[in-house]
Amino acid sequence: MYLIVVGAGGIGIPLVDIATRSGHEVVVVETDDEKAEYVAAEYDCLVLNDDATVKETLLEAGARRADAIISTTDEDATNVMVCLLATELAVPSVVSVVHNPHHRPLFERIGANTIENPASLIAEYLYRAVKRPSIVDFMRVGDTAEVFEIRVSESAPIVGMRLDDAAGDGLLPDDVLVVAVERNDESNPITPHGSTAVRSGDLLTVYSAKGATPDVTDVFGHYEDHSTVSSDNSAV
């Protein structure tokens, strides 16, 4: 792929590292002299020490043949302008970081794919790691739904049960699905079916329409303070 990365900061540099190591052709546009010099010295890519909010700069960067433009600057106004120009130049894929969530609709109207400010995502992840230690990993889906990983404890009421029996007994609600099972004696994840029995120690990937609420995590043997977690969820 031919990628144009705008911004060589905390987000842009790791992105350039991944893209160049993966063998993609990368052009970086950065206004700061020192950052531009650093990227040019460290990575196998073309660097333009220029302003990406100017159409001519993106044309010089090769926007006409680019597969994607990714704007990673710390200013939403700059990112919006880059996305507008990229759309005007018919770049197939336009992606941007959004720092202020209130600005997301503007990016969406432009047609850009957006990623929430990584600092906010990391902060929430760290907060979850402390307040909800039973959750190994998680990803939000929409406003309330989540996909999360959770380890089944020995005391979990679901241990030894088939998934269809757990659903039939009301232990797994209709809006909770086990989508993958990782088991120590299996080299690859198991795609679960109704006949799949849950074992102690299984690492489950779970989809829950209402998120990883205490009544859901209780099923897998992680009994947390419901009132504390409920207040945490309302605050996040």
Environment class of 100 (CB within 10 Å of its CB; exposed 0-12, middle 13-18, buried 19+) = exposed
Cα dihedral across residues 36, 81, 86, 108: positive or negative: positive
Of 115, 136, 155, which residue constitutes the final position of a domain? 115
Q: How far apart are CA 40 and CA 53, in angstroms?
A: 20
CA angle (120, 143, 86) in 5-degree steps? 65
Query: Six-digit token pair at 158?
Result: 């679901």
**Residue 202 pLDDT more than 70?**
yes
Last residue in a domain, options 64, 91, 115: 115
- Give the per-residue pLDDT at 133: 67
Given a cut of 60, whether residue 230 has pLDDT beyond it is no
In the chain, the number of structural domains is: 2
Is residue 170 predicted with pLDDT exceeding 60? yes
**Domain of residue 97, residue span:** 2-115
Looking at the predicted structure, is the pLDDT value of residue 172 above 60?
yes
Question: Cβ(185)–Cβ(120) under 8 Å?
Answer: no
Domain boundary among 54, 86, 115: 115
Helix (H) or strand (E) holding 19: helix 12-21
Between the alpha carbon of residue 200 and those of residues 133, 158, 165, 167, the distances in Å are: 17, 9, 17, 18
- Identify whether residues 125 and 231 lie together within a single domain: yes
Q: What is 83-148 written as a DSSP string?
A: HHHHHHTT-SEEEEEESSGGGHHHHHHHT-EEEE-HHHHHHHHHHHHHH-TTEEEEEEETTTEEEE
Q: So what's the pLDDT on residue 231? A: 43
Mark whether 102 and 190 lie in a shared domain: no
Stated pTM of the model: 0.64
Q: What is the pLDDT of residues 87-117, one digit of tens each?
A: 999 999 999 999 888 898 999 999 999 887 7
**CB count in 10 Å sphere of residue 41:** 8
pLDDT digits (tens, 9 = 90+) for 30-46: 999 999 999 999 999 99
Residues facing residue 139 across a β-bridge: 147
Confidence of residue 213 (pLDDT cuts 50, 70, 90): confident
Residue range 141-153, pLDDT digits in tens = 777 888 999 999 9
